[in-house]
Amino acid sequence: MAISQSLEARIALLPDSAQQELLVFVENLLHKYSSEDIEHKEWSMFSLESAMRDIENEESPYSEEHLMERW
């Protein structure tokens, strides 16, 4: 039996007030995990932006000749 099916069966046994309480708890969990995901993405973007800052102004040590494939 899948976890979601097991949860559904057990939740159905609870009174309505307990089901409502569980719904609030699950919504809080969803908010918590979506917030952590957003914070992680924001930090990753900040880190990448910091690493790449002013790189477009730097002179490249490579030329087009370095891009050619040689056999």
Q: What is the pTM of this model?
A: 0.48
pLDDT at 22: 92
Considering the domain boundaries, does residue 64 fall inside one?
no
Considering the domain boundaries, does residue 33 fall inside one?
yes
User: Alpha carbon of 23 to those of 5, 30, 31: distances in Å?
Assistant: 16, 11, 12
The pair of three-digit structure tokens given for residue 2, joined into one six-digit string: 């899948």
Considering the domain boundaries, does residue 55 fall inside one?
no
Considering the domain boundaries, does residue 66 fall inside one?
no
Considering the domain boundaries, does residue 46 fall inside one?
yes
Considering the domain boundaries, does residue 16 fall inside one?
yes
Total domains, the chain: 1
Considering the domain boundaries, does residue 14 fall inside one?
yes
pLDDT along the chain (71 residues), means of 10: 88 93 90 75 77 80 78 67
User: Which residues span the domain enclosing 24?
Assistant: 10-50
Considering the domain boundaries, does residue 22 fall inside one?
yes
